[in-house]
Amino acid sequence: MVEPSSHKFGDHDLQEVLVWMPQVQSADSVFWIVFIHGGAWRDPTITARNFAEPAVSILLSDTAPELRIPEGKTLAIASLSYRLSPHPSYPQDPETAPHSSLRIAKHPDHLDDVCSGIAVLRREYGLSDHRYILVGHSCGATLAFQALKRHVETGSPAPRALAGLAGIYDIGRLLENHKDGPYAEVYASFIKGAYGEVEKVWAHASPCRFYEHGCGDSDSHSVSWNKLCSRRTFLLVTADGDELVEPEQCEEMKYALTARHETHPADDVGETQGCRYSEMSVEGGHDEMWQQGDRMVKVIQRLFMILAATGIFETV
C-alpha cells in the first residue's frame, strides 16, 4: 500500500494529518474522503493511521471496488489526528513526559485540531467547498458534526456529505443510559475527562441538540440549523452487534435531522434546499466497523451511490 504523507499543524505529536494523494494536475480534479477516528476522545491505541488503513488498503488497491465519484475526479484520502484526553489505563507523568506527547486535551481541543487538519488540506491541497466527505466513527462522528457546524459558522469549506458510524450524538444521554450499568464509571470517566462536569457544555457539544443553540450569529436557531443541514447528505450507520454505543444515539440524530428540517429521501434526484438522510447497518461490533476495512468501504460506497444517484455531483 502507498505510504501516506504527513503534515504537522502544531507542536504536539498528535497534531497531524495523513494524506494518500494521487498524482493529479490540479486541486479541482480531486474529491476527498476525510476520516476522523474514534476512541472516546482518549484511546491512544486508535490512531489516524490504524483507523484508516483497513479501508485505504482496499480503496487504493488494484482491485478496488467501484466508487461513483464525480466524473473527472480522482480520489484522495486524508485521516486526521488530534490531541487526546487522559486515559486511566495509559497514565502519564506530567513531570517527566514530554509536553509534546501529553494527553491532557479538553473540549474544544479535539475539535480545534480536527478543524486545523482540514485547514491543512485546504492550504496544501486546495480542498474546497463540497469537494469532500467526512467519515467519523464513534466520537469521531461527534467531531465530524461539530466540525461541520464550525465550518458553517465561520464560512470555511464545508463537506458535501457526512457519514457517522456508531456516532455519539447526545453526550448526556449516553451517560444517563449507562449510569446504572457495569461500566458506569468508564462512561463517566471518558465523558467528563473530555468535556468536564458541566452538563450545559455536553448539551452544546451534542450534534442532535445543535438546533437548540443555533449556529453562528443568527438570531433564529431554526434558520441557522437549516443552514447547517441545507443541501447536505447524511448517512448514519449502526453496527448490529455494537456493545458500546446503543442505537438510540442514531435515533436521536435521525430525529434531529428529519423532524426539525426539510428532509428528503436519499433517492430523491436533484438539488434541494433540504438535507438528505439515509441509514444502514453493518455486521459486527463497535470497533469491527473500522477494523474490518470492507465494512467501512461498504459505507463509503453507499454514500457515493446516494450522491451520484441524486445528481448532486453535477454541481461539484
Q: Profile the chain (316 residues) by mean pLDDT over runs of 10 residues.
A: 93 98 82 98 99 97 88 93 98 96 98 98 93 98 97 92 98 97 97 98 96 58 72 95 97 87 52 75 98 97 90 60
Which position has the grid cell 456516532?
Answer: 167
Catalytic residue among 242, 261, 278, 287: 242
Per-residue pLDDT, 127: 95
Cβ–Cβ < 8 Å for 138, 209: no
The HSE-up count of residue 235 (CA atoms within 13 Å, CB side) is 28
- Domain assignment of residue 195, yes or no: no
- Domain assignment of residue 300, yes or no: yes
- Domain assignment of residue 190, yes or no: no
How many structural domains comprise the chain?
Answer: 1
- Domain assignment of residue 72, yes or no: yes
- Domain assignment of residue 93, yes or no: yes
Grid coordinates representing 51 are: 483507523
Per-residue pLDDT, 215: 53
Active-site residue flag, 138: yes
Active-site residue flag, 240: no
Active-site residue flag, 11: no
Per-residue pLDDT, 271: 44
What gap in Å lies between CA 83 and CA 44, rounded to an integer? 10
- Domain assignment of residue 189, yes or no: no
> What's the residue count for the chain?
316
Q: Where are the beta strands (DSSP E) in 155-273?
A: 161-165, 233-239, 263-265
Secondary structure, 3-state, 53-79: HHHHHHHCCCCCCCCCCCCCCEEEEEE
Range of the domain at 225: 5-171+207-315
- Domain assignment of residue 201, yes or no: no
**Which CATH number is 308's domain given?**
3.40.50.1820
Q: Where are the beta strands (DSSP E) in 83-155?
A: 132-137
Per-residue pLDDT, 218: 45
- Domain assignment of residue 247, yes or no: yes
Helices (H), 10-133: 48-59, 109-125
SS3 for 312? helix
Catalytic residue among 81, 138, 206, 224: 138
Model's pTM, two decimal places?
0.94
What gap in Å lies between CA 87 and CA 240, rounded to an integer? 27
Strand order in the sheet with 74-80: 5-8, 16-20, 74-80, 30-36, 132-137, 161-165, 233-239, 275-282, 263-265
* Residue 230 φ/ψ region, left for φ over 0, alpha for ψ in the -120 to 50 degree band, beta for the rest: beta
